[in-house]
Chains A and B, each alone.
Chain A
C-alpha cells in the first residue's frame, strides 16, 4: 500500500540517470543473490546423496534424489513431530488472534481503570528474551503438571505473541470510523456483537498480518520448545537439532528436515509479502 503510493511521489528519473538505474538494478540483483544463495544451497544439499555432499570440489550438477526426504519422512517419530508442530502452531495462532483482537478492541474503544498499565506492560512483555522465560516457566510448569505437554508450550507461545498481535491490531482498529460501530449499536447490537460483526470483518488485513507472524514464531521457535517438551511432544526444530552430533553429521537428512521446516514460512513470504512488511515496519514508520 505504502509502497505504491510512495512510488508515485518519486519523480520520474531525469535524463542521464539511465546508467544510475542500471546500477540500482545491479545492486538489487547482487543482494538478492546473497539472500538466496544459502537457502538454495540448503535445498540443493537436501537432494544430494552422501558422496556428492562430501565430494571436493563440490558437485554443482547432479541427478537430484529424494532419498533424504523419504528417509526423514519415514523416520520413527517424524510424523508425530510434524503433528506437534502443526497443532502448536495453529492452536496458538488461533488463540492469540482471538484474545489479542478482543484486548486491542478494548484498548482502542473503551476507557477503563488500569488501561495505561496494561498497555505499557504489554509492550514491555514483548521484549522478554525466551532464554529468560525458559528457566522460571520450566520450574512453574513442572509444578503445575504442564511440563512436556503441548498445552504448556501453546500457553507460552500465546502469551509471547499477544503483545505483538495487540500492537498490530490496535493500529487497524483505531482506523475504523467509530460511526460504523455506533450505527450497529443503534441497530441493537451489544458490545460483543459489534466486535464480531463490525470490527472483526474490517480488520481482516491486520488479522492476516498478525496470523502470519504468530504462526511463524510458534513454528520456528526452538529454545522454549527444547526446554518444555519431551520426546513425545517436541516440535520439528527441536527434533532437527538433536540430529546434530559432533561427528558424522548426516547433512543430507538434516538439510531435508531444514527445508521442510523452512517451507511454510517461505510460502507465506511469497503469498503475503505485503502483510509481512506491514508487520515488520509496524511501529517503526508512521502512516
Chain B
C-alpha cells in the first residue's frame, strides 16, 4: 500500500478530529469527571487532596435527603404539567388552523418569537408581570373583580406561575412541529377518506392522529427532555423559592455545588438527572430514526 492510499484512508479522521476533540474535552471528559467527583466529599476552594472517599454514599443520600426528594418532585410536577398542557394546546391549535390559510407564515414568525428570546429575559418579563404591587397580572385580576395574588411569593402559586410562563414560551414549539407534520401528510389519503364518507372528526381520529403518532411522540420527548433540564427561567423568576417550592433538580445541583460548595453531592445529583435524560434521549433516538439508531447501536 503506497503512502497516498494510506493518507486517503486517514481523510475521514482529519475531517472528524476537531469536532470529536472538542466534544471530548468539553462534554465527554467533564461527564466522566463528574462521575469521579460523585464518589467523593469535596468542597469548593479546598485542595483536591483534602477530599474524602465516600463510595456510593452521595447516591444513597439522593434518596434519603429530603431536599433532593423535594426537588425531584418539583421537577416531575413541572415537567408533567408543562408537557401535558403544551401538547394538548399545541395540538388542538395545529388541528384548528391546519387547513390552508393565507398569511400563515406571518403568524408562524410571531409564534416562534417567545422561543427565541433568552431564558433570562423571559424570566425577567414574567417576574415583572407577576409583581404583587404593580404587576399587570394582578392589575387585570382586580379589573375583573378577583383577588390579587402573591404569585411568585406564594408557596402555592409560584410553581403554577412558572408553569404558565413555560406554556407561553413553548406551546408554539409543539404547534409548529405538529403543523409541519400535518402538512406533510399525503392529501390523497384524506381525499380518499372524504370520498368514502368519513366525517371531519373521523378523519382526525382514525387517520391523521395515527399517521402523526411518530411526530407527536418526538415532540413530546423533546419537550420532556427540555422540561427536565429547565433552570434559567426559574433561576431568574424565583431562584427556587419560596422555600423549596420551585427548586427543580438543575437548580438544586447549582445550589449544592456553588452555594453549599458540596461538589461531590452536586455531581451525584447531576449524574442522577443525566441518567433520566439519557434514558429519554435513547427512547427518542429510536423513535425518531429507528433504522439509524439500530445501525449505530450495533
Residue B204 is within 8 A (CB to CB) of chain A in the complex: no
Give the interface segment out of A175-183, A202-210, A264-272: A264-272
- Interchain CB contact under 8 A, B112 and A162: no
User: How far apart sit A138 and B12, CA to CA, in the bound complex (Å)?
Assistant: 32
B197 to chain A, nearest CB (A): 15
With A3-B104, A24-B99 as contacts: A118 and B16 at CB distance below 8 Å? yes
A266 contacts across to B, CB distance below 8 A: 113, 116-117
Q: Does A94 contact B (CB under 8 A)?
A: no
Is A25 in the interface zone, CB < 8 Å from B?
yes
Task: Give the chain B neighbours of A140 by CB distance below 8 A.
Answer: 29-30, 33
State the total of A-B contacts with C-beta under 8 angstroms.
Answer: 328
Q: Are B215 and A285 interface neighbours, CB within 8 A?
A: yes
Chain B residues with CB under 8 Å of A237's CB are 118, 120-121
Within 8 A of A (CB), among B225-247: 225, 228-229, 231-232, 235-236
Query: Chain B interface residue count: which class?
Result: 35 or more
Q: Is the interface of B mostly helix, strand, loop or mixed?
A: helix
B73 proximal to A (CB < 8 A): no
| B280 contacts across to A, CB distance below 8 A | 127
Q: Chain A contact residues: over half helix, strand or loop, or mixed?
A: helix
Of the four ranges (under 10, 10 to 19, 20 to 34, 35 or more), the interface on chain A belongs to: 35 or more
Cα distance, A121 to B291, chains bound together (Å): 16
B78-86, B126-134, B154-162: which lies at the interface = B126-134
Interface residues of A (CB under 8 A from B): 2-3, 6-7, 9-13, 17, 20-21, 24-25, 27-28, 31-32, 34-36, 38-39, 41-42, 45, 53-58, 95, 98-100, 102-103, 105-107, 110-112, 115-140, 155-156, 158-160, 162-163, 166, 191-192, 195, 216, 219-220, 222-223, 227, 237, 240-241, 244, 251, 254-255, 258, 261-262, 265-266, 268-270, 273, 276-277, 280-281, 283-287
19 contacts between A and B (CB under 8 A): A3-B108, A27-B93, A35-B114, A35-B168, A38-B129, A41-B128, A54-B133, A106-B15, A123-B281, A124-B282, A127-B281, A131-B250, A131-B254, A132-B271, A134-B254, A223-B231, A266-B113, A269-B109, A269-B112
